[in-house]
A and B are shown apart, each in its own frame.
Chain A
Amino acid sequence: MGTRKIRMLLAKPGLDGHDRGAKVVAHALKEAGMEVIYTGLHQTVASIVNQAVQEDADGIGLSIMSGAHIPICKKLMGMLKEKGIDDKLIVVGGVIPNRDIPVLQEMGVNGIFPGGSHFDQIVGFIQDNVQN
């Protein structure tokens, strides 16, 4: 178990197609030695949860630029709980105003990385917090 690479599912939920951030983070996580599965665009929350199960991902990273982060995360957290896999690490990045950060934390989102966050912070957070 100790040598297993961290597996992160990176996902673009909803209809927003701005994927520069998701792809850049995918590169950074790969370079940090993680396995990255990128869902591609226009994913439903249900399909993200299914892929996380199928891929046996340690965590899910959502990239959301549309402003719909609160309803999307609410739905995701609910579905994870339903499936009994709410032990997975959940990180969210994108256009996230400061005032929404506590709201997301309250829901159970583990890490929130608004635009401008450093790779080191994201990589470090995932490495420190994934339940291996």
Chain B
Amino acid sequence: MGVATYSKDEKDAIQKVTLQSGIDVKPVYTPDDLNAIGFDYENDLGDPGEFPFTRSLHPQGFRSRNWTTRQYTGFGTPEETNERFKLMISHGQTGLNVAFDLPTQMGYDSDSEMAEGEVGRVGMAVDSLRDFEVAFKDIQLDRIGSGLTINAVASIMLAMYQAVAEKSGFDKTRISATPQNDILKEIVGRGAWIYPVDPAVRLIGDTIEYAMTKLPRCNPVSVCGYHIRESGCTPAQEISYALLIAFAYIDNVIARGYQAEDFVGRFSFNLNIYGNLWETVAKFRAARKLWAKLLRERYDVRNKKALFLRGIFGGGGSGMTKQQPENNIVRGAYYALGAALSGAQTTALCSFDEAYTIPTERAALLSLRTFQILMDEIGLRDTVDPLAGSYFIETLTKQMEEKILEEMAKVEKVGGMLEAVSSGYVQKEVARQAYEFEKKLQQGQVTKVGVNKYTEGADMEVELHEYNEEWAQLQVDRLKALKRDRDNKAVTDSLKALERAAKAKENVMPYLVACCNSYATVGEMADVFRDVFGEYVEPSIF
């Protein structure tokens, strides 16, 4: 749950504060601290909008550009999802963040045995292009960008997004999709993996390569430290793992004969906000700086915009508690404040009922209002990087930077990120820390309000988002009708062409678009890859 460890004396005075990343906080900071770290404005910060972007990506921060809010939405049938999309847009949301159900994420159709009980449960069920046609009906895909929370089959979903946009008359060069498409973090932290590490990373390389030439406004990869942090790692590790994962994808594309400069500007990140406020702010400032510096050092990237650590900083679900759930509304507001003080470009917030269920409409709207209050009422747009120059924040930012580099060195010592994930090294490290933290929480060394302190009062029941079994049946019926009515010869041909491309290590993206257009199902396309690539096997970490 991400809070610092406090040692106190018998009078409740704080003796020692240790942040999760392992940095001790001093009671007082002075100009001496800045001298001690050799603080240099040009090198360490630079003006907002200037290298190394510690302060902000844009010269005027939120003054010139309010942040984009992207609540995670999508459930049940494509019709339901379409309604919720339109509702959120009418309330001022400026981008979509699409949730898919687990069968879709895992490449199973709604009628698969593996999908039983899961169809439409945690997101929208997508079996074929027909479902996308319904979900994105009347959405201006040239104006509204969409985050697609999909990884193992992200290549399929990006192809489908192109197909649906073209079908609705939008030029593919004008659409902006951001599939999550980060398989290494799935293996470490979120578990929606299908294929072995090497072919899975190759698929990501295919999407990057394809987007570079065909979908110039799409962001083919969103590297997610977020979920690894949710799984238990420290904030410093979150950034170090995210950067190393990004480098692994860059290396895959460079091996095809491209320069990082040509594509890395479309990378985005999905990072986590919860826990200690200062550590959060320092983390994001250090992350922006390190990404820019390391891209220059390792890949000789020169184009300024290609050095931007762009992305979504989202309020983490792990910070939310089941106990006294209304406290999560307050936590969410502070996390959003942390995002604003960190110069977040795009943001999202877990809703207060998320420890129970996917958000109800009321809770999702409340999260959106939380952001709007910060920006429109409280003054977070007034000036850029308001904490800059603070003796404490600048010292901490520098210390975070050092910690992140330290953690990166540890992984590189065991053979780099691909090796560290394949062997289970990172998973082991994350699980161990999750356990250590949980123990501290249960023993009271870290405090979580309503969980191990101020626990009086009964838990409140929250209003739950209903799961409708009938939707699942409707989805299955619709899939059956599709399989009956479509041109099955065209489907078979397109799937065969896909199989040949996968075997020949050709870029599979154009073939996937053709499959989508023939109304081949997600399960059918995913199965082609299962046959060619095989499936991932988890290393034992116990």
Contact = CB atoms under 8 A, between A and B. Distances in A.
B356 A95 contact: yes
A108 interface: no
Given A27-B435, A95-B356, A17 B193 contact: yes
B357 interface: yes
A99 B460 CA distance: 12
B431 A71 contact: no
B451 A116 contact: yes
A15 B106 contact: yes
Contacts of B540: 38
Interface string A32-72: 00001010111010000000000000000000001110011
Given A26-B542, A67-B357, A99-B461, A14 B102 contact: yes
A36 B542 contact: yes
Contacts of B232: 20, 24
Contact of A23 (B190, B322, B357, B435): B435
B37 to A, nearest CB: 34
Interface in A1-35: 12, 14-20, 23-24, 26-28, 30
Interface stretch (B91-99, B116-124, B503-511): B116-124
A119 B439 contact: yes
Contacts of B103: 15
B186 interface: yes
Contact of B356 (A16, A41, A97): A97
Interface in A77-132: 95, 97-99, 114-116, 118-120
Nearest to A46: B113
Given A19-B191, A24-B438, A72-B117, A66 B122 contact: yes
A40 to B, nearest CB: 4
Contacts, number: 97
Given A17-B191, A23-B431, A97-B464, A40 B538 contact: yes
B355 interface: yes
A24 B431 contact: yes
Contacts of A116: 321-323, 451
Contacts of B434: 20, 23-24
Nearest to A44: B114
A28 B443 CA distance: 13
Instruction: Tell me the interface secondary structure of chain B in the complex.
Output: loop
Contacts of A72: 117
B173 interface: no
Nearest to A38: B542
Given A14-B102, A18-B190, A20-B434, A41 B538 contact: yes
B541 to A, nearest CB: 8
A72 B118 CA distance: 10
A40 B427 CA distance: 12
B435 A14 contact: no
Given A15-B118, A36-B542, A97-B356, A66 B230 contact: no
Nearest to A95: B356
Given A18-B191, A95-B357, A98-B459, A68 B542 contact: no
A118 B121 contact: no
Nearest to B535: A42
Contacts of B230: 18, 20
B435 A24 contact: yes
B442 interface: yes
B259 to A, nearest CB: 35
A15 B442 CA distance: 29
Contacts of B464: 97
A120 to B, nearest CB: 8
B200 to A, nearest CB: 14
A16 B435 contact: no
Contacts of B115: 15
Interface in B463-498: 464, 467
Contacts of B358: 67
A74 to B, nearest CB: 9
B155 interface: no
A114 B461 CA distance: 13
B431 A15 contact: no
A67 B121 contact: yes
Max count, chain B CB within 10 A of own CB: residue among A12, A14, A26, A41: A14
Contacts of A28: 435, 438-439
A40 B193 CA distance: 12
A69 B434 CA distance: 23
Nearest to A13: B117
A110 B542 CA distance: 26
Interface of B: 102-103, 105-106, 108, 113-118, 121-122, 186, 189-193, 230-232, 318, 321-323, 355-358, 431-432, 434-435, 438-439, 442, 451, 459, 461, 464, 467, 538, 540-542
10 contacts: A14-B117, A15-B108, A17-B193, A24-B434, A28-B438, A66-B121, A67-B358, A68-B118, A71-B116, A116-B321
Interface of A: 12, 14-20, 23-24, 26-28, 30, 36, 38, 40-42, 44, 66-68, 71-72, 95, 97-99, 114-116, 118-120
Given A71-B116, A98-B461, 14 more contacts: A14-B102, A15-B108, A17-B190, A17-B191, A17-B193, A20-B318, A23-B431, A30-B542, A67-B122, A72-B117, A95-B355, A97-B356, A97-B461, A120-B442
